[in-house]
Structure 1
């Protein structure tokens, strides 16, 4: 019998109230906003082209509503930082920090760690743009509080102005793709008090190669400081800025759920051993076969690592399984079991998974491939070899049998 086990990773979350309270008390002078970025890798065996993470972060910020179609078409993904505050704008014919101004940080590498703490991977996080919405706090300013011209150092991705409530929104897109530190500004803004009712950033996430990651949840975090010019902030909103929150904690959650499937042909639960050329040489000429064998073909699909182990109804001391004479009292016959998975190799040694001997005493090998393998023809080979065959034939008409379980664990 061949059995396929695909385990599910158990996920536990522990919360320690005292530790959290102590941390918050220590950060009382710097309020923090928490935002979450999520991505999944859940490949589909019937869609072999899906080999990368998919961004599953809910839409928020300027890309929601009116501008969502444009964001989707341009692969922009905005997220609202939840930062709110005020800005004292000063109209002047420069691209300086007194106007509509956003300075953006250089890219970062964020380390994500598996739930068990044993595996870490790096992801790249680039801020490729930012957006801000300003509302005339007193309602006494001009209908158009910001320049309609092109910004310095950046391109204008999205824009929206409401003359009725004296609101302006602009999305800046960096020309460097997020590779350095850059400041973007409009030519002028009216001299007035403004409410910052929204501050968003647009990002690019460069995820690890998911085929090298084991199934499970990976988390990480990075923190950005938001503030005014001269405050050493990662996001610089210019002069005259007062914010409710000046820290943004960006939490990352990567969920990896590898595809794994065995396609077994009918009758794969039974392996009848016989000489390769049949029993004629023995029955007609008395020639003892050197081997009784049977090969079971199957197809295997996998996008990640998996282990293989063996269980026996009749285990032998050397780790092999045996088949037992059910007719007379006789010596058990040892089985040699070998697994062949073309295209796969041992994740530790790099050895190709060709004719891998399976025993109950082995350390279960962890096997992997360099690509998403779909329905690869594979085989299990069962055999009784050498002197054990002669011993079996000393009891003609007997019936030997034994159960063998080959376990494929997709979460090794």
Structure 2
């Protein structure tokens, strides 16, 4: 939530305005979406989900590559031996997928989120030591045995996959295990591997993923929580060929908190209320019971939905009062916003009354990309009240206008 409160001091003789303002195959994802007020369509998604798997074992490497991993306890097993030259396809869903999330407290309010798998890791386990399979003498580096088995170690990812593990690392001292992580660009379909020796049996012990998230039309998001899920299938989305998965799918359950920033810039810090024809006309021709008026320009520098509310130093009935110390009169306050800003029914906002409690202005949203044209606050002492104002005195008061993205 971002709440901006502007303090207004009103007067006539009248003075002015001051602005201040798991289940094995399910991952629970916690994140924040922070739309960029200065860049409609831009947003930062901060992933607060605890890191597990590869990046807990190799934090330095992940930090250098700006990776984060989460483990799904899905394993893959060969049903028998893997012959020489047999292709394990390793197909990954690296392209962006779109799905819908729903606002947790506003019925019917939805948003579109995109996800893609940007990196994949695993720990493979051989049914016997790599040294025994390739038949090389005991005492050599374990990494070399694994490299010989595959012709190129799994550190050397098959293009277009890219390596995310340092050369010479990944081989476990037990001789059977090898831990690896690959980056998967958007053009990835498969990154196949084939052994140069018959492997009696093999399994992938786990599935680590680095995933990316982005919001579609973030300028339309409303502050609060959105929830939704996306499921990938094993065998189609993740294609490991003859290696059989222990689970048919993996699911991301998303709980995303939208934290909007609403930015407003006032064109001045004072508003003077005066007759439409000016004070000289009033003085020259005698006092007339006409309205006292004043407008203030302001600029909405955000694209996020927000609500407006009104509070007063001297509250009246639905609006604020100004006073000369012994007598007070009401000031009608209204607001006009440029296109594409509309209310929750899709109607334009032109000289819309701004009342205590903000009725009617509880969900102001853009119907398109904002253009940063000026908005106006309108202030008026009604004609009937002007008749009652005491001559020779100044009336003033302070009002507070809140712009709040927590709708």
TM-score normalized with structure 2 length: 0.68
- The answer as to whether partners of 1:87 and 1:240 remain within 8 angstroms in 2 is yes
CA distance in 2, matches of 1:173, 1:92: 27
Q: Does 1:68 align with 2:23?
A: no
Equivalent position to 2:240, from 225, 233, 237: 237
Higher relative contact order (CA 8 A, sep 6+): 2
Question: Which residue matches 1:409?
Answer: 404
For residues 55 and 324 of structure 1, the distance between their equivalents in structure 2, rounded to whole angstroms, comes to 49
Give CA-to-partner distance per residue, 1:252-299, whole Å, 9 cap, x none: 23221000245568965xx55333565333334326373322334555
- Pairing 1:70-85 to 2, within 5 Å after superposition: 71-72=65-66, 78-84=69-75
Aligned to 2:121: 131
Q: How does 1:116-155 map to 2 (within 5 A)?
A: 116=105, 118=107, 119-127=109-117, 130-139=120-129, 140-142=132-134, 143-144=145-146, 145-148=149-152, 155=160
The count of aligned residue pairs is 361
Task: Kindly report the root-mean-square deviation, in angstroms, between the aligned alpha carbons of the 2 structures.
Answer: 4.5
Equivalent position of 2:274 in the other structure = 274
In the alignment, which of 243, 251, 260 is matched to residue 249 of structure 1? 251
Distance of aligned partners of 1:49 and 1:354 in 2 relative to their CA distance in 1, 3 Å threshold: closer
SS for the counterpart of 2:83 is: coil
Secondary structure of 2:150's counterpart equals coil
Indicate if the aligned counterparts of 1:217 and 1:253 stay in contact, CA closer than 8 A: yes
Structure 2 spans left out of the alignment, 5+ residues:
7-21, 135-144
The equivalent of 1:9 in structure 2 is none
Given that residues 109 and 123 in structure 1 are in contact (C-alpha distance below 8 angstroms), is that contact kept between their aligned partners in structure 2? yes
Cα distance in structure 2, aligned partners of 1:117 and 1:341: 24
Question: Following TM superposition, by how much is the alpha carbon of 1:138 offset from its aligned partner in structure 2, in angstroms?
Answer: 3.6
1:381 aligns with 2:378: yes
Aligned to 1:10: none
Displacement of 1:116: 1.7
User: Is contact 1:32-1:247 (8 Å) kept?
Assistant: no
Question: Which of 153, 162, 169 matches 1:157?
Answer: 162
8 Å Cα contact 1:146/1:168 also seen in 2: no
Please give the secondary structure, in 1, of the residue aligned with 2:379: strand
Relative to structure 1, is the Cα distance of residues 125 and 299 closer, same or farther in structure 2, using a 3 angstrom cutoff? closer
Q: Conserved in 2, the CA contact under 8 Å of 1:333 and 1:384?
A: yes
- In structure 2, what is the Cα distance between the partners aligned to 1:287 and 1:339? 28
Structure-2 residue corresponding to 1:285:
285
1:16 counterpart residue number: none
**1:336 partnered with 2:346:** no
The reply to whether residue 346 of structure 1 matches residue 342 of structure 2 is: yes
- Contact 1:154 1:173 survives alignment (8 Å): no
Unaligned regions of 5+ residues in structure 1, if any?
7-23, 25-30, 227-231
Q: How far does the alpha carbon of each residue in 1:312-363 deviate from its partner, in whole angstroms, 9 at most, with x for none? A: 65645xx6656578657xxx85533222444661144555545333345952
- For 1:101-120, what aligned pairs fall within 5 Å after superposition? 101-104=89-92, 108-116=97-105, 118=107, 119-120=109-110
Q: Structure 1 pair 86/67, CA: closer, same or farther in 2 (3 Å)?
A: farther
The one-character-per-residue Cα deviations of 1:148-200 (angstroms, maximum 9, x if unpaired) are 2999996341265538544445556667636xxx5542122641344534422
Q: Report how far residue 251 of structure 1 moved.
A: 1.9
Distance 1:371 1:339 in 2: 20
User: Which residue of the partner structure matches residue 205 of structure 1?
Assistant: 213
Look up the match of 1:34: 26
1:287 to 1:127, Cα distance in 2 relative to 1, 3 A: same
The TM-score normalised by the length of structure 1 is: 0.67
CA contact (8 A) 2:275 2:292 kept: yes
